[in-house]
Structures are given as C-alpha cells and as structure tokens.
C-alpha cells in the first residue's frame, strides 16, 4: 500500500489534493456530487473584511485549455464567512480548511487574518497577494518584494496559525518575492495564482470580459506553474503548495517532483466537478506504477 | 445534480442555423421547465449551457443555434454518439406563482433561442390547467421554429419577425397588450427589458457566461433587489420584482 | 473584395501573416510544402555574431496546447546568414524579410544589427531582448526598462532600417519596457516571446528539457499574448507585431482588434506546416463574415 | 515532403504493449528504409515520429510501443479511422554504402522499438543482393516480435533477451562478433553506443524529441564531426564515422 499522506506545517493531510480558492465556493455545491471528506483539505473562497459583489458581468471567457475569470473576489465578508459559511461547511467536511484572505490595504489583511485565525476549523491562512481582478490591493501586494515582506510580517504578528503567502506569476522574478516572504516569517508559499489574460469577442469587437483582462487559468498554464514551483522550491526552504493547471494524478506527481508539498486544483473543478475525486482515486495507482511508496520520496526529486 | 453520459437519439436542423437534439436520458431528472443542462464537448474547456426544450419518457430535447465553435461542433454530432451532461441545472420557472395571479392572461414570450424553454413550460402550464398566450419573436422567417408545435398544443400563438417576413412585423412587444398581467419570458436582454416594462408580474430567464454552471465559482452573479444571485443556480429565472436592470 | 494589406513602418505587406522567428528557419523547409511567397513577410531565425550550437538535447517538450523549446538560438552566425542563408532565401522568396537579432552584449547586438541592416532583403530589424533560452544576454536585456532603452538607442544609432524590439512576457509590467523602448527611438514592438515553462518526465524523475526550463509557446499562451498586446497598444503609439499562440484567421483578427498591426505565427507552424497558408486563405472569408473591408478599420477597436 | 490523410487498414497488438498499424497510402513516398512518418493525433500539440517498418503496394506498416498518452491513443484507433501524417521524413539508411564494404558480414542490429525499421531495411538489402545477419534485442520474451518475419525472409536471426527468457541471455552485443565489419543499428542510445564500439563501420539511427520533424526548428540538432545535424532531416541515420558520443 502506498502512502498518500503529506505534512504541511504540522497539519497532516490524507492526500495532497486541495481544491483551490475560488473554484470550490464553501464546498456545498460539490458535496452534491461526492463526499468531499476525501479531500486533503479545502481552500475556501477568498475573504475580505466587508462583503464584496465583485466585478461586472461577463466575468468568464473560454480559452484553449483554460478559462479567464474576473469574479473580483465576490464574497460575503469575513463576518458571514465565520458565522455562516464555515459552520455550514463543518457539517459536511470534518477536516481543517485553508482560509484565503484578501484586502485592499494592510489593515484589511490583518483584520481578516486575525478573525479567521480564531476559527478552529481553519488550519492554514493563505494570504492572497496576487489577485489580478481587484483594482486596489490584490496583485499590487504581490509584485514587489518589500511590500510582500511587510504584509507577511504584519499578518504574522497577529496570528498563530501557519501563514502561506499566495503569489502572483505576473512578475519578473517570483523567487525574489518568495524569498522576501520567507525572510519575513511566512510558513509556506502558495503558487501560482492566475496569469493576466484576455479574449476579444470578434463579432462584438470588444473584450469578452467586462473588466477587459482577467485571470487566466486551467491546464494551459500548467508548464508556467510548474516552472515557477521548481525555481521557487530551489530558492526557499518553506513548503510550497503547487497550483496551476492541475487536472490529473500525473500532474500532481509532476508538481511534487518539482518541489511542491501539496497541490491545489482550480479551474478543472469547474469544467469537471469530479476532478479532485478522480485525482484522489488515481493517485495510488499512478504511485504504484511509478514505484513511489511515499510522496516524500519524490518531493523536489527532479533536478 | 448529476453527471450523466447519454446517447444522442437525433440531431437535426429545424431552422436557419438552429438544430434540435434529442438524448436518451432519465427525463425525471428535469424537475421544472426553464432548467438547463451543461454539455461537455471534446476539445473545449468550458461546458455549454442549453435549456431543456422538451422531455418525453426517457428522453429530453434541446434546441440550439450555431453561434460559435462549440455549437458548431454540436451540430456535427450524430445519432448514437454520446455526450457528457451535468443536469438538472438552475431553478427553472415556478408555474405555481402564475396560477395564483388573477388579473388576466398568462403570456409566454420567447425571443430567438429563448423560444425552446417556453415549449416545455407551455406543456407544464397546460397540464396545470392554464392556457397561456404564446408570443414568439424572430428576426426573419428563416429563423422561425416551433410555431406549429405550440399551435398543436392548442394554444393561441403569435409570431413577430423584425423584417415582417412571417407573422406580424416587429418585436414581441408589438404583439403584447399595453400591460400584460403575468409573463414568462426568455430571450435576449433587450427583449427581456422591453417585456419587463410592459408587464405587471412574471418570471424572466437570463443568460450569462458561466464558469461552472452549478453555483461554485461566482462567475455568473448578478445584482437583484435581494442581493447578488447566481444565474446558474439561483436563476436563470428571476422574478420580475427582484430584477435590477 | 476585402483588403488584407497592412503597413508596417513604411513596408506594405500583402497580408499581416508572418512566420515567427525560430519556427520557420530560413524558409526552405516550408517551401517544400507550399509557395512561401504568399506570406506577408518572414521573420528569420535569430542571428548572433558568431555561430552558435545552442543548448543540449532534449530541447523540446510537449504541453497541453503548446510546447516548450530550449533551442538556445542555434544559428550559423551573421556572416553565414548574410552570405548564404539570405541569398538562398531570396531565390524562393521575393519580398522583404524581418531579421531577428540576438546577442550576449550590447556590442553583439550592435554588430549584428549593422551587418543585417546592410542587407537589401531585410525590411525590418527585430531585436530579440527576450530569449529565455540563453544564459547571458537575451531575456536579461528585456526585463529592465533602462537596459532595454539603452540597447534600443545603441542599435538605432548604427542602422537605417526600422527597429522593432521583441519583448519578453516574463515581466511584471510589459508596458513599462515598451514605453522605454519607444522613448529610446524604437520604430515598433514585437510581442510576445515565449513564457518560461517546464515539464518533468515522471518516469525518469527529471526535467524533460536538458536546460530544465525553456520557452513555452503555442495556442495555450494566446490569452496572455493578447492581453499584453492590448495593454501595450494603449501605452505606446508605435506599431505592434502581435505574437503568441496564433493558429487561425480568427486569432489574427482578435490580435488586430487588440491593437496589433501585423502578427507572427510561431509554434503552430511546427505542428502543422500549412498553418500560415491556411490562415492567409481563411482571412478574407472571415473578414467578409465580420463585415471588415480593411484591417485598418479594426486595429485596436476592442476597447 | 507530403501531408497525407490516410485510412487505417489494421491496428493490432503483436507483443506486450507493442502494436502494428497498417495504413492505406502511396508507398512510393517512402524512398528509403529508416525514414519515418510524423503523426498528428487529436488533442496533442506535437506530432509523433514513428519509423516505417514495412511497405507494400499501397500501404505502409508501423510498429509502435505504448509508452505515453499519444501512443496509447494510437493503440485505440480502429480500422477505417483516418490519421494525418507528414511523410517521408528523414534521410533513412543508405544501403549502397554497405555494398561497397568488403570485409565480412553485414549486421542488422535492432533493440526494442529499434527493430521495426530493420525489417524494411532487411527487405531492401535482400533485394540488393545482400544477406545480412540479424540480431534483435529485447528485455524479455513477452516483448519479442518480428523474429519469425525476419526468419521468413531467409535470414539468420539471433534474438537476445536481457532476462534470458527467449533466445540467448544478454544484450545484442553478446550476439555480435568482437568486431563487426558493417552494422546497421537502431535502438536505445546505450545499445547504439555498445554496438558502435564493436563495429568498424556502419549506420546508426537516433531518436530525439522533435518540434517540427522536418528540419525547421533546430529542436533536434546533435553534434557530429561535420558540425551540427538535425536528427529529423539530416538524420535520423548517421554514419559511424561522424558520430560524437
Ligand atoms: C441558462 C442558459 C440557457 C441557454 N439555453 C440555450 C438554448 O436553449 N439554446 C441555445 O441555442 N442557446 C442557449 N444558451 C446560449 C448558449 O449557451 C450559447 O449559445 C453557447 O454556449 C455558445 O457556444 P459556442 O461555443 O457556440 O460559442 P462561442 O462564442 O465560441 O463560446 C465561447 C464561450 O462563451 C460562452 N457563450 C457564448 N455565448 C453565450 C451565451 N449566449 N450565453 C452563455 N454563454 C455563452 C460559451 O458557453 C463558451 O464558454 C443558453 C445560455 C444559458 C446561460
Ligand atoms: C525518428 C524516430 C523514429 C521512431 N520510431 C519509432 C518506432 O518505430 N516505434 C516506436 O514505438 N517508437 C518510435 N519512436 C519513438 C516514438 O516517437 C515515441 O515513443 C512517441 O513519440 C511517444 O509518444 P507518447 O505520446 O506515447 O509519449 P509521451 O511521453 O507522452 O510523449 C510526450 C512527448 O515526448 C515525445 N517523445 C517521447 N518519447 C520519445 C522518443 N523516444 N523519441 C522521440 N520523442 C519522444 C513525444 O513525441 C511527445 O512529443 C521514434 C522516434 C523517433 C525520433
Ligand atoms: C473562478 C475563479 C475564482 C478564483 N478566486 C480566487 C480567490 O478568491 N482567491 C485566490 O487566492 N485565488 C482565486 N483563484 C485562483 C485559483 O485559486 C488558482 O490559484 C488559479 O486558478 C490557478 O489554478 P488552476 O489553473 O488550477 O485554475 C480563482 C480562480 C478561478 C478560476
Ligand atoms: C522552436 C522555437 C524557436 C524560437 N526561436 C526564436 C528566435 O530565434 N528568436 C526569437 O526572437 N524568438 C524565437 N522564438 C519565439 C517565437 O518567435 C515566438 O515569439 C513565440 O514562440 C510565441 O509565438 P507562438 O506561441 O506562436 O509560438 C522561438 C520559438 C520556438 C517555438
Ligand atoms: S457559473 Fe459558476 S456560479 Fe454560476
Ligand atoms: S525537429 Fe525541428 S529541426 Fe528537427
């Protein structure tokens, strides 16, 4: 029997498969498809201090092998998340979850992080400094190492749980940002968030997305994500959650070989709601085929 | 919600660029008219949402227009080939609400590819003892479909074409009374808005580009008087009184 | 009859379709498939002052909707290009070509540009400051606005022909680099070059590409390229050659609506050698369908 | 070079994970043994290069092993389905060069999926009046194929398996003389190198991951004594004397 368990900053996950923030809501829609307790963990929808409606419609465009979204962090706000969404999720999911936090200012992040840190259900705080879909905040925190480091420090100062900084791929050198976050005390790095992308409706002669550009993700971005995880894993010593374009157990193995400890599956959940279930079922078979007994054997083995 | 693989029973052209496709599937899955299915097509990342136009014992029927690569591919599929569908999706029309109104006729108003869901709705209303008036709008005579099918249900059907090549010339609103009591409408947004303005009450079905189609991604949210709603899950049908334009 | 002609810095092209540098050699392999005189122009293989063997094998990996290459600018050197490759190309192609120039130092670029500037056949000089596959030079010139501007000036000082700076997408803000090049006198911008990407061979547990990471391109990157062309077209007034993931006439229209004046087709030539021919044949049909009489009508129309 | 669409005549398993596929196509397109075709498969960006194993009037045969997703898909294709091929690609073996040597036997040495091109080569050599000795190497008996076909050509065939489950136990080099006069070899690189060291002259066929397969991208270049060569166009067959390991 192969062992699919992985350890993430003291949290033991039954397997490394985690739905990515924003693509799994607070779990209940997926619970209609399968028992979500099979998941390693769940990264819930990005939360801001106040409720947010998000961007105008259309928010979605299709691409070859992927999609663009400009949801713009629509969420019910941290109070509703703590008082309603998380308790409801607790009824259908009995493991720790990953809270995903966003804001427009350092204060926002700090407020939101300290409130979510207090929730028993939350195992890890994932600080999203990489959302390309919000005007102020979001990605701007993730493109400069100093700003990223300061935010990391500010959040770390008010919380007890492990803090993972979720980075943007839309930068010249991701390893610089990752190193700055590590030096500032981050417990781990989540990468990547979406690439900036665009589609134009040639009949209407205008951008498909109301917001013009949006966040591009799905299988098409896998090679970019893999390269960034690989380079970052060489640059830092803290664990990495590999995200971007994952849709199969083989992709998971590739990400772990690149240096990831766990992985998150995003857009693939939307086009096939059973993606995470399928990956979790296939993972032991693929491990056996490749002669892998424990995932820790292969972490970062591709050199 | 179910993920079903089903075989195509037939797929044929019924008007300019418009096709009717029938699948073998458990039709009991469709609970209400106005619900839709989300179709996975080989080589396309996102699914294609299409309303259920009709259902029979063991099958459902869709009517779709070729507007892009996905629907083009659908039109090339043959009897016996299989498709992967998520269904049933969306709230659908609540016909009980219409029964309860007492001020005049019920109108079913469909524009273009908003016509198909009106057919299953019409059947449901008839089964519930109602006799709605049907108004169908198209651009031109070549696009007209289903007029005969609605007539065969014994309903009063008016067709309006923009160019006047079939039925009355003009928009669906030109076939409406100044103020309709209760409307069920589906069609392009400008049509919905015009119908909204000429109706006192009713239910309107909206379209939106969708990420998931089942309520998880917030890709389709719209503002309503009762807060934001997901067109795929809380819609596609909204009550007249909650709509914000 | 629709008009597919476009004008690029004084050069009139029969159509906007140009094979991208590195994916079309010096034309002769494609001349075995079709008459290459139908092409708007040809961007020939990147040239360095000295011959270069390039990187170790394997240099190619496959991805969903694209590929990774790490050819590493293998080329016969500027002398052989001017004395042998271009004269041979002239026998099978009777229009102006685009010379693609690379180097490891400013001096390299200047030497190479001035030699190629003297070739009658060359209509435009494309300065590749974005190759992710060479250790020194290449991309490093394309990630800092000041360096990019200096190189632009240095090249402009020694040549008479229009100079297009070919930019890397692997940067935080491409418009900054483009604006710096424009201010330094560039006549146009070519974008994008490849994204940094990676694949791992999970059986061998090592990177597929000998060089570990490589340049990722093909249909998968189209939304990224489109977004960058769109944003850059708003930021500069000089013409843009839109490159990245193009494989159909509809893609060409989308790129032009985003603001490109002409386009280049790269990886798609490799998987289907008839790609450019097919696009050129389909373009008038698609224009008619969309009611476009002249491509200048739609340039940058998506707002 | 041609881009041809051709129909599959047959596609069947002939050994563990190994399939033989025959296509209807103008076989005159293949000029030399050792040339290959490059196959476009739905859903894969790059083509798959496969050597021509045999040709007959109006058809060619490939033998391929399922090693990944692309070859897995190939193995699922049925008679009558069509594939898009670029062909002929590569230089192929030059059998004239072997005729001109006078010191001893000609050896055909194939390892694993290096065996198929040896078959067309053997037929060509026989037609040219030669009678090469054939040595085939596999890991284990379940992987062995084409031994009988070579024997049916009237040639002396030795099979070596690493585990000794069929033929002699060992590598192809264990079946070779200490120094072979002229060899034609195809197989994994370590095998080629071992054969190289035990031969005076010959031609060796190499593999490489390919971008285009027709000489345009420099994705497959290797160093030789006469400068860099493209495995897809100037190869896949290299002369012994030009090889740099
Ligand atoms: C709830 C709902 C019910 C629908 N019912 C029907 C129906 O019964 N018959 C019918 O012909 N059409 C219907 N549509 C519209 C149908 O979904 C689109 O025409 C179809 O998705 C276009 O796909 P394509 O690949 O041909 O076009 P493309 O333009 O190539 O599609 C590109 C992307 O945009 C999306 N898209 C394009 N147009 C629309 C649209 N109008 N609405 C939503 N997404 C769109 C596609 O799904 C795809 O993701 C419905 C849409 C919704 C939301
Ligand atoms: C000139 C030449 C002739 C060949 N002849 C044969 C033959 O007759 N029979 C046979 O079984 N195999 C042959 N091969 C190897 C065959 O091309 C690969 O096994 C096949 O491409 C694997 O595809 P896949 O999708 O199953 O594997 P994957 O590993 O999923 O393929 C991923 C990518 O790597 C490439 N790739 C993987 N392995 C190889 C390889 N060994 N050589 C080149 N590219 C590779 C694929 O083409 C694809 O682009 C030949 C290769 C070359 C270069
Ligand atoms: C519809 C959608 C919504 C998303 N919302 C969030 C979010 O709220 N917070 C966040 O950190 N990332 C968000 N993301 C990014 C994903 O979590 C993930 O990082 C990205 O999509 C790359 O993974 P993928 O290629 O598997 O989709 C969202 C992505 C999508 C597609
Ligand atoms: C095999 C290969 C070789 C390339 N060589 C060069 C080069 O020499 N010079 C250059 O500027 N770009 C080079 N490129 C980049 C392309 O010109 C183009 O910018 C990039 O591939 C994006 O376009 P695509 O998605 O259509 O491939 C190369 C790309 C490929 C795939
Ligand atoms: S499309 Fe995903 S929530 Fe509606
Ligand atoms: S694979 Fe392109 S040159 Fe050989």
pLDDT at B129: 87
CA of A193 to the centre of ligand 3 (A): 6
pLDDT at A135: 57
- Asked if C43 contacts C98 with a C-beta cutoff of 8 angstroms, the reply is yes
The pLDDT-based confidence of B244 (bands split at 50, 70, 90) is very high
pLDDT (tens digit per residue) in B1-41: 889 999 999 999 999 999 999 999 999 999 999 999 999 99
Torsion, Cα C295 C296 C301 C302, to 10 degrees, reads: 40
SS (H, E, C) chain B: CEEEEEEEEEEEEEECCEEEEEEECCHHHCCCCCCEEEEECCCCCCCEEEEEEEEECCEEEEEEECCCHHHHHHHCCCCCCEEEEEEEECCCCCHHHHHCCCCCCEEEEEEHHHHHHHHHHHHHHHHCCCCCEEEEEECCHHHCCCHHHHHHCCCCEEEEECCCCCCEECCHHHHCCCCEEEEEEECCHHHHHHHHHCEEEEEEECCCCCCCCCCCCCCCEEEECCEEEECCCCCCEEEHHHECC
CA of A131 to the centre of ligand 3 (A): 8
pLDDT, average across residues A122-143: 78
Residue A136 has pLDDT above 80, yes or no: no
Least confident of A123-127, A129-133, A231-235: A129-133
Report the residue from A61, A197, A227 with minimal CB separation from C198.
Answer: A227
Residues of B in contact with A57 (CB under 8 A): 208-209, 220-222
B45 touches D at CB < 8 Å:
no
pLDDT, average across residues C130-136: 64
Looking at per-residue confidence, does B63 or C72 come out higher? B63
Shortest CA gap B144–chain A (Å): 23
- Asked if B183 contacts B125 with a C-beta cutoff of 8 angstroms, the reply is no
Helix (H) or strand (E) holding C17, with range, is strand C17-19
Helix (H) or strand (E) holding C7, with range, is strand C6-8
pLDDT at D76: 96
Nearest ligand 3 atom, CA A193: 19
pLDDT, average across residues C232-261: 98
pLDDT (tens digit per residue) in B33-76: 999 999 999 999 999 999 999 999 999 999 999 999 999 999 99
State the maximum Cα–Cα separation within chain D, in Å, rounded to a whole number: 50
* Cβ-defined contact of C274 to D214 (cutoff 8 Å): no
Shortest CA gap D214–chain C (Å): 7
Buried b (16+ CB within 10 A) or exposed e, B57-76: eebbbbbbbbeeebbeebbe
B210 touches A at CB < 8 Å:
yes
Torsion, Cα B154 B155 B158 B161, to 10 degrees, reads: -80
Residue C132 has pLDDT above 80, yes or no: no
Interface contacts C/D by beta carbons within 8 Å: 95
pLDDT at A132: 66
pLDDT, average across residues A203-228: 97
pLDDT at D72: 97
The pLDDT-based confidence of A133 (bands split at 50, 70, 90) is low
pLDDT, average across residues C40-57: 94
- DSSP character at residue D129: T
Residue C104 has pLDDT above 90, yes or no: no
Of the residues B48, B216, B229, B237, which should be mutated to test ligand 5's pocket, given the most ligand atoms within 8 Å of the CB?
Answer: B216
Q: Please name each of the domains of chain A with its CATH number.
A: 6-54+81-196+217-297 (3.20.20.70)
**CA nearest neighbour of D210 among C152, C83, A1, C273:** C273
**Quick one: what percent of chain B has pLDDT higher than 90?**
90
- Asked if B11 contacts B18 with a C-beta cutoff of 8 angstroms, the reply is no
Q: What is the DSSP string of chain A?
A: --B--EEETTEEESSSEEEPTTSSTTSHHHHTTS-GGGSS--BPPPB-SS-B--SPSP-EEEETTEEEE-----B--HHHIIIIIHHHHHHH--S-EEEEE--SSHHHHHHHHHHHHT-TTEEEEEEE---TT-SSSGGGGGS-HHHHHHHHHHHHHH--S-EEEE--S-SS-HHHHHHHHHHTT-SEEEE--PEEE--EETTTTEESBTTBSEEEESGGGHHHHHHHHHHHHHH-SS-EEEESS--SHHHHHHHHHHT-SEEEE-THHHH-TTHHHHHHHHHHHHHHHTT-SBGGGTTT---
pLDDT at A259: 98
Residue C140 has pLDDT above 90, yes or no: no
Residue B102 has pLDDT above 70, yes or no: no
Distance, CA of D51 to chain centre: 5
- DSSP character at residue C138: G
Taking CA atoms only, the protein residue closest to ligand 2 atom 52 is D207
pLDDT at A104: 87
B43 touches D at CB < 8 Å:
yes
Residues of D in contact with C48 (CB under 8 A): none
pLDDT at A303: 83
Q: Rounded CA gap, C200 and C215, in Å?
A: 14
Reading the block at residue C110, the tokens are 């200047």
Reading the block at residue B56, the tokens are 């029979």
pLDDT at C141: 78
The pLDDT-based confidence of A181 (bands split at 50, 70, 90) is very high
Residue C243 has pLDDT above 70, yes or no: yes
Q: How far apart are the first and last CA of chain C?
A: 27
The pLDDT-based confidence of A1 (bands split at 50, 70, 90) is confident
A189 pairs with which residues across the strands? A165, A240
Output the CA torsion sign for A233, A239, A244, A245. positive
pLDDT at C142: 79
Residues of A in contact with B1 (CB under 8 A): 29, 32-33, 273
pLDDT at C65: 97
3-class secondary-structure state, position C60? strand
Using a 6 Å cutoff on CB, does residue C69 contact ligand 4? Answer: yes
Distances (CA, A) of C133 to A199, B213, C177, C214: 28, 41, 20, 6
CA of C173 to the centre of ligand 3 (A): 21
Q: Which of residues 21-80 of C touch D (CB under 8 A)?
A: 22-25, 29-30, 32-33, 45, 53-54, 57-67, 69, 71, 74
3-class secondary-structure state, position C165? strand
Residue B218 has pLDDT above 80, yes or no: yes
Least confident of A207-211, B35-39, B92-96, B97-101: B97-101
pLDDT in tens, chain D (245 residues): 889 999 999 999 999 999 999 999 999 999 999 999 999 999 999 999 999 999 999 999 999 999 999 999 999 999 999 999 999 999 999 998 886 566 678 999 999 999 999 999 999 999 988 899 999 999 999 999 999 999 999 999 999 999 999 999 999 999 998 888 899 999 999 999 999 999 999 999 999 999 999 999 999 999 999 999 999 999 999 999 999 99
* Burial class of B123 by CB neighbour count within 10 A (0 to 12, 13 to 18, 19+): middle
C235 touches D at CB < 8 Å:
no
Q: Rounded CA gap, A249 and A266, in Å?
A: 14
pLDDT at B10: 97
- Asked if B216 contacts A29 with a C-beta cutoff of 8 angstroms, the reply is yes
* Burial class of C251 by CB neighbour count within 10 A (0 to 12, 13 to 18, 19+): buried
**CA nearest neighbour of C98 among C9, C5, C219:** C9
- Asked if A191 contacts A166 with a C-beta cutoff of 8 angstroms, the reply is yes
The pLDDT-based confidence of A10 (bands split at 50, 70, 90) is very high
pLDDT (tens digit per residue) in A17-70: 999 999 999 999 999 999 999 999 999 999 999 999 999 999 999 999 999 999
* Cβ-defined contact of B214 to A269 (cutoff 8 Å): no
- The runs of H, that is alpha helices, within C93-139 are 106-117
Looking at per-residue confidence, does B102 or D192 come out higher? D192
pLDDT at B100: 58
pLDDT at A130: 83
What mean pLDDT is reported for chain A? 95
B15 pairs with which residues across the strands? B18
pLDDT at A58: 97
pLDDT at A59: 97
Question: How does strand C206-207 pair with strand D18-24?
Answer: unpaired
pLDDT, average across residues B160-189: 93
Distances (CA, A) of B92 to A143, B88, B219, D25: 44, 10, 19, 54
Reading the block at residue A99, the tokens are 């809270």
Q: What ipTM was reported for this prediction?
A: 0.96
Neighbours of chain A (3+ CB pairs under 8 A): B, C
Using a 6 Å cutoff on CB, does residue D230 contact ligand 2? Answer: no
């Amino acid at each position: 029997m192969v062992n699919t368990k992985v350890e993430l900053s003291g949290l033991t996950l039954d397997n490394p498969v985690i739905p990515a923030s924003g693509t799994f809501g607070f779990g209940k829609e997926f619970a209609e498809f399968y028992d979500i307790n099979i998941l390693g963990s769940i990264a819930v929808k990005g939360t801001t201090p106040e409720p947010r409606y998000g961007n105008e419609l259309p928010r979605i465009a299709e691409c070859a092998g992927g999609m663009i979204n400009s949801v713009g962090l629509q969420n019910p706000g941290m109070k509703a998340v703590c008082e309603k969404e998380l308790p409801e999720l607790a009824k259908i999911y009995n493991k720790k979850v990953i809270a995903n936090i966003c804001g427009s200012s350092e204060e926002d992040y700090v407020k939101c992080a300290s409130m979510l840190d207090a929730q028993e259900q939350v195992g890890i705080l994932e600080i999203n400094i990489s959302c390309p879909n919000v005007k102020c905040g979001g990605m701007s925190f993730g493109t400069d190492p100093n700003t990223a480091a300061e935010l990391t420090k500010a959040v770390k100062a008010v919380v007890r749980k492990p803090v993972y900084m979720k980075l943007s791929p839309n930068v010249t050198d991701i390893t610089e940002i990752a190193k700055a976050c590590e030096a500032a005390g981050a417990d781990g790095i989540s990468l990547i968030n979406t690439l900036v992308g665009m589609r134009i409706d040639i009949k209407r002669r205008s951008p498909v997305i109301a917001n013009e550009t949006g966040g591009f993700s799905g299988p098409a971005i896998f090679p970019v994500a893999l390269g960034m995880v690989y380079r970052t894993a060489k640059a830092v010593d803290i664990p990495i959650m590999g995200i971007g374009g994952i849709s199969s157990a083989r992709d998971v193995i590739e990400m772990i070989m690149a240096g990831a400890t766990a992985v998150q599956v995003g857009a693939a959940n939307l086009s096939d709601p059973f993606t995470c279930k399928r990956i979790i079922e296939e993972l032991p078979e693929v491990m056996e085929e490749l002669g892998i007994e424990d995932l820790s054997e292969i972490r970062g083995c591709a050199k | 919600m179910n993920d079903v693989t089903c075989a195509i029973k037939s797929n044929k052209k019924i008007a300019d660029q418009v096709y009717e496709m029938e699948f073998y599937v458990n039709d009991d899955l469709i609970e209400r008219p106005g619900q839709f299915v989300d179709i996975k097509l080989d080589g396309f990342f996102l699914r294609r949402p299409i309303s259920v136009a009709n259902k029979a014992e063991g099958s459902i029927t869709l009517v779709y227009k070729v507007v892009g690569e996905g629907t083009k591919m659908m039109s090339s599929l043959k009897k016996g080939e299989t498709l992967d569908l998520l269904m049933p999706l969306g709230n659908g029309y609540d016909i009980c609400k219409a029964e309860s109104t007492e001020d005049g006729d019920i109108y079913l108003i469909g524009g273009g590819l908003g016509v198909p869901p009106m057919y299953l709705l019409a059947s449901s209303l008839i089964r519930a003892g109602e006799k709605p008036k049907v108004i169908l709008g198209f651009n031109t005579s070549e696009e007209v479909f289903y007029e005969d099918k609605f007539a065969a249900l014994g309903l009063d059907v008016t067709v309006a074409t923009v160019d006047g090549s079939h039925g009355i010339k003009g928009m669906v609103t030109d076939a409406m009374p100044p103020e309709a009591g209760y409307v069920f409408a589906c069609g392009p947004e400008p049509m919905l808005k015009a119908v909204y303005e000429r109706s006192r009450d009713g239910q309107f079905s909206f379209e939106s580009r969708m990420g998931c189609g089942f309520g998880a991604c917030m890709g389709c949210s719209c503002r309503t008087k009762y807060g934001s709603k997901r067109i795929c899950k809380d819609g596609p049908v909204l009550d007249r009184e909650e709509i914000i334009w």
